[in-house]
Amino acid sequence: MQQFLIYNTLSHQKELFTPLTPDHVGMYVCGPTVYGDGHLGHARPAITFDVLFRYLKHLGYKVRYVRNITDVGHLEHDADEGEDKIAKKARLEQLEPMEVAQYYTNRYHDAMDRLNVLRPSIEPHASGHIIEQIEIIQKILDAGYAYVSNGSVYFDVRKYHEATHKYGILSGRVIDEMLSTTRELDGQNEKHETADFALWKKAAPEHIMRWNSPWSVGFPGWHTECTAMGTKYLGETFDIHGGGMDLMFPHHESEIAQQTAITGHGPCKYWMHNNMITINGQKMGKSLGNFITLDEFFTGNHELLNQAYSPMTIRFFILQAHYRSTVDFSNEALVAAEKGYDRLMQAYKTLCSLQPSKSSSVDVKGYRQLCYDAMNDDMNTPIVISHLFDAARVINTVNDRKATLTQNDIDELKSVFQTFVFDVLGLRDEASTDNTALIDGLMQMILDVRAVAKSNKDWATSDKIRDSLAALGVAVKDGKDGATWELK
């Protein structure tokens, strides 16, 4: 087993990854709030933790990867105040809230599939775990770290902090500064302190997402869902909790507080956070209105885009930077990523066509370990890519007949590319995928021409098309719903 170092946000240092249970890894990652189309900022954590998921499985671990769907409780202005984002969207579009959530969940899945992001082991929805959230809230109340106010339930941050639990341990926030902050927000007078956060909110008469609870008819706070679902599917303590840096406070800080209030310890052994996608130096996000959706990237249909960018170009663009570094959007950077991705794909095609020699004039045996060393150093994907570019240079040199490789060395390079380009980094050859779609389209066009010939009782043309395709190894089968084809 490789020695894998990951940066633990909680300890602020790289640590040797040792799972709580040998050979088994529990990983929870905060997923999207489904009230709008996914954008580049959503792609980054999805791709980052997809690579981690892939690599852990490659190392031989059995991984239970849980990524939630937030379809209730995520509020517009503040973690405790304002209108639920999905409820607001539903009200504006005169739809059922779950109609909005399902539509954008489907859109998110489609975008992730195009980015070649693997589906998680479990994808729980917040709205499907209201009972578990109520149970968590009751446990926090029983432990004495929450209070009921006017039908809402709030976490008592001061009491928790003074019990030596240190609220702010993950984000580095100073508790005195948080407690002294004053904001004029609806419901603020219900709290003991401004820093207290909602575990359950009593629903206003016009609020359309509501459930019964021991305290009121209402809905859970944003932070409660991950504590409830993480515990349900991974236990009171699991290995890795991931998400974007923007979730570190207040979301993940509050998760730690909730779990510690109940069990005396935080939810996980390692906290991992990817950094932000920025545009003109500012975080890209829906709330700021400066985002470009993934669909707009794929089509090029946005005023800031000079062209369309393929899903694999987007994936490569994100992987070119270390996951803890910021990435600033620009057309120039995306064009460079497009060229880099094409270079790797072309190198692999060239590799597959190389003719072996009896001896090698270059040594390629070190590339595998170099890629492992980079991955084992806190998933340093840009260094992995640099080693793969070096291998591509060797491949091109051999193709230009300026160097030689034996069959064993060619097979070794093929294995390295398969492992790190395709299996771990999750890239795929879009040209091959496009060719498949092209072939499907051409075949359908040919079958349509044959169908017209048959409808006109032009049997000679119909038979000629069928026989010509058969000679090329394509079998045409006529059925009651029309003709189909398959390769012999």
Q: Tokens for 469, please give them.
A: 């395709």
Domain 13-274 shares a fold with domain 294-424: no
195 close to 181: Cβ distance less than 8 angstroms: yes
- Whole-angstrom distance, CA of residue 353 vs CA of residue 356: 10
- What Å distances lie between residue 218 and 34, 133, 172, 198, 210, CA to CA? 20, 12, 32, 12, 5
Domain ranges of the chain: 13-274, 294-424, 432-487
pTM: 0.86
With b meaning 16 or more CB within 10 Å and e meaning fewer, what string describes 85-111? bbbbbbbeeeeebbebbbbbbebbbeb
Q: Which pLDDT score is estimated for 231?
A: 97
Please state the length of the chain.
Answer: 488
Helix (H, G, I), strand (E, B) or coil at 60: coil
DSSP 411-457: HHHHHHIIIIIIIIS----HHHHHHHHHHHHHHHHHHHHHHHHHHTT
Q: Which pLDDT score is estimated for 438?
A: 63
Q: Which pLDDT score is estimated for 184?
A: 46
Q: Which pLDDT score is estimated for 483?
A: 86
- Whole-angstrom distance, CA of residue 257 vs CA of residue 389: 45
Q: Which pLDDT score is estimated for 435?
A: 61
Burial (CB count <10 Å: 0-12, 13-18, 19+), residue 270: buried
With b meaning 16 or more CB within 10 Å and e meaning fewer, what string describes 326-336? ebebeeeebee
Q: Which pLDDT score is estimated for 291?
A: 81
Q: Which fold has domain 13-274?
A: Rossmann fold (3.40.50)
Burial (CB count <10 Å: 0-12, 13-18, 19+), residue 22: exposed
Q: Which pLDDT score is estimated for 433?
A: 62
- Whole-angstrom distance, CA of residue 208 vs CA of residue 87: 7
pLDDT in tens, the chain (488 residues): 789 999 999 999 999 999 999 999 999 999 998 988 999 989 999 999 999 999 999 999 999 999 999 988 655 334 455 567 777 777 777 778 788 889 999 999 999 999 999 999 999 999 999 999 999 999 999 999 999 999 999 999 999 999 988 999 999 988 878 776 544 444 568 899 989 999 999 998 888 889 999 999 999 998 999 999 999 999 999 999 999 999 999 999 999 999 999 999 999 999 999 999 988 777 776 666 678 999 999 999 999 899 999 999 999 999 999 999 999 999 999 999 999 999 999 999 999 999 999 999 999 999 999 999 999 999 999 999 999 999 999 999 999 999 999 999 999 999 999 999 999 999 999 886 656 556 767 888 899 899 888 889 999 999 999 989 988 888 888 876 678 887 76
Q: Which pLDDT score is estimated for 434?
A: 56
The residue to which tokens 């029983």 are assigned = 142
- Whole-angstrom distance, CA of residue 363 vs CA of residue 351: 15
Please tell me whether the peptide bond between 382 and the residue prior to it is cis, using omega within 30 degrees of 0.
no
Q: Which fold has domain 294-424?
A: Isoleucyl-tRNA Synthetase; Domain 1 (1.10.730)
Q: Tokens for 86, please give them.
A: 């999905």
- Whole-angstrom distance, CA of residue 240 vs CA of residue 229: 14
Q: Which pLDDT score is estimated for 485?
A: 83
DSSP conformational letter for 206: T
